[in-house]
């Protein structure tokens, strides 16, 4: 890992995530009644819990709105959820004010064109491995994992390990 990337990672205080294609695989599943069903990765969720335990904040910015997102965010104690946020950059500017952070202190994980505006403004821009090329072309890091399959966990591990906090968080939870 190059020094520039390490420097960006060490400044991070807030992790912001898109939903469809990042916290989920990007598929939109409807049941027989037309209700939307989302599938979230449990390892991503546990990593978010560990990220909070390390003292960091999290947020979701999604251009869509779904009850499943609200429920999952509540379960994981996500600090702030912005749904129906289009363009996403407006929600991002609001987040900076609400969290009292600078862009250098924010990591955003995205996968598709509506994420580009935010990705171009954050301190650490991350794309999931199955993101569209236009997204991959503007980020600092591309995960090995796909969206909905551990990409968020990989990003959190990258941040906490680079900051030297991963083992401490695990030890505090009696996980190592």
Spatial CA neighbour of 27 closest among 45, 18, 9, 39: 39
Mean predicted confidence (pLDDT) in 12-18: 98
Residue 143 has pLDDT above 80, yes or no: yes
Whole-structure pTM value = 0.96
CB 52 within 8 A of CB 75: no
Task: Return the pLDDT at 126.
Answer: 98
Q: Which domains does the chain have, with CATH numbers?
A: 3-172 (3.40.50.1000)
> Beta strands 36-37 and 29-30: pairing type?
antiparallel
Residue 15 has pLDDT above 80, yes or no: yes
Q: What average pLDDT does the chain have?
A: 96
Task: Return the pLDDT at 112.
Answer: 98
Alpha-carbon distance values, 118 to 40, 62, 124 (Å)? 23, 12, 10
Task: Return the pLDDT at 133.
Answer: 98
Token output for 127: 């794309």
Task: Return the pLDDT at 8.
Answer: 98
Mean predicted confidence (pLDDT) in 50-60: 97
CB 81 within 8 A of CB 73: yes
Residue 168 has pLDDT above 80, yes or no: yes
- Give the full edge-to-edge strand order of the sheet including 80-82: 80-82, 57-61, 14-17, 106-110, 124-127, 141-142
Residue 1 has pLDDT above 90, yes or no: no
Task: Return the pLDDT at 174.
Answer: 86
Residue 176 has pLDDT above 80, yes or no: no
Tell me the per-residue pLDDT of 80-139, one tens digit each, with 9 for 90 and over. Answer: 999 999 999 999 999 999 999 999 999 999 999 999 999 999 999 999 999 999 999 999
């Amino acid at each position: 890992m190059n020094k520039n990337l390490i420097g960006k990672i060490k400044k991070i205080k807030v992790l912001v995530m898109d939903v469809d294609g990042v916290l989920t695989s990007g598929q939109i599943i409807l049941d027989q009644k037309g209700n939307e069903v989302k599938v979230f990765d449990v390892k991503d969720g546990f990593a978010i819990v560990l990220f909070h335990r390390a003292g960091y904040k999290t947020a979701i910015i999604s251009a869509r709105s779904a009850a499943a997102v609200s429920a999952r965010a509540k379960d994981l104690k996500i600090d702030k959820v912005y749904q129906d946020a289009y363009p996403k950059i407006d929600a991002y500017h609001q987040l900076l004010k609400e969290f009292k952070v600078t862009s250098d202190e924010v990591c955003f994980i995205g996968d598709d064109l509506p994420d580009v505006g935010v990705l171009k403004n954050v301190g650490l821009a991350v794309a999931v491995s199955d993101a569209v090329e236009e997204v991959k072309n503007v980020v600092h890091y591309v995960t090995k994992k796909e969206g909905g399959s551990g990409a968020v966990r990989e990003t959190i591990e990258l941040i906490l390990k680079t900051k030297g906090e991963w083992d401490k968080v695990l030890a505090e939870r009696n996980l190592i």
